[in-house]
Amino acid sequence: MKKMIFCAAMGIFLCACADSSGSAEISQTAQQTTETQPIETTGTTAEKTPEPVSLADYLNALPADTYIPLLREISADTTLICEAKNDRYAVYTYDSETGEKSETRLCDTLPQCGKGGFWVLTASTEPDAASMRTAVTLLDTNTYSRAQIIGFDMKEIQSFDLPKGFRADSFDIETETGRVTYSETVQQADGAFVYRIALSDNALADAQIILETPLTKNEVNLYQTKLIGNRIAFSGGYLSSPSTQSKPAFGWLNVNTGSMTYEYRRDGYDYAVAFCDSGAYVFDAGYPFGTAPTGTVFRLANGESGALRLQNAMESLRVFPSASGAYFATVLEGTNENGADLDRISVYDSAGGFVKSFDINFANDGRHYVDSVFVLARTVCVQTVYAEGGGEWYHFDF
């Protein structure tokens, strides 16, 4: 297996897809787009109207050092694009029908999307600002002062200050309603610690306690969460007793009753989770020495979880769902009949049914790596990177 390399870069090539057998090599053609620029006319300056450019051509024409950690389809013609910019994120929408970009929002954290928009946190320099470990994979040492919900039109929907000293193990905002859910460890007046999961309809004020247990008796800590209606999809850690090492866990929590259903691993495997609007996909993040990946993905939807079997066990290491959760893609690394590096992108539906696969043939030099896969309505966008910088985009329809 090729060595994984994470680079903040991408290239400027457009690639046609192979057929469903996955045997054809991808062809590549360079693409460019027309930039809007001032035009001098008899002493006046006019601006040229943007020309329609497909999303594929737009991505391929971005500068080579552009890295995109997030793509989300908003409508048939409009896509949310997030570019990494020096430890911040430039977020905007692109309309392929008109060729126009929206205004750009610079954000301190990676946007967390929902049906109603996305939420982000604002960094603070104050030493006692809020700190949390959340689905945005923030470190506990990071501090934040404010939360914002932003619509896909880049207009602020809601914002609120985070209390000083607030610490959360998990944190999520439902963009459609503005409700906030979080978990925290709290010391009570008698000195005892409790683990608390709460829901707030009013920017962390008047919080409703969903579940509260003594820390010594708590079985599951929530790390990553997604509030969906009256349920919270989560991944976390299971503790059979306070003195044992936690085991990866995932499941659902009912916000009305506080009832929790979960599963946890007993075999040394680790989990990763990818959230979507309807729930999450849980897959292998690693496997014990001397074993192999499980080849199984768990689908969390409607308060339940179900196991989906993939065609190849190694596929369960890298899973990328669509925004709605209707489809997900996997990446399988290998070689072709000539011994050159080959990555196979496979698409499945939410029931685990195989839809189509596509092969990307690389030169056998160990330079390439599939960094991320974005599943839009009926298109897969694949971002690859090189060891020395730069990369390429591949686009497939299914």
The β-bridge partners of 278 are none
Longest dimension (CA), the chain: 80
Query: Distance between CA atoms of 355 and 350, rounded to whole angstroms?
Result: 10
Q: What is the rounded CA–CA span in Å between residue 145 and residue 126?
A: 8
Confidence of residue 87 (pLDDT cuts 50, 70, 90): confident
Q: Give the alpha-carbon dihedral of 359, 361, 365, 367, to 10 degrees.
A: -60
* pLDDT surpasses 50 at 35: no
pLDDT tens per residue across span 258-269? 999 999 877 778
- Per residue in 132-181, pLDDT tens? 765 444 444 568 999 999 999 999 999 999 988 888 999 999 999 999 99
> Residue 212: helix, strand or coil by DSSP?
strand
pTM as predicted = 0.83
Each residue's pLDDT tens digit, 41-75: 344 445 566 778 899 999 999 998 899 999 999 99
Mean of pLDDT values over 13-22: 36
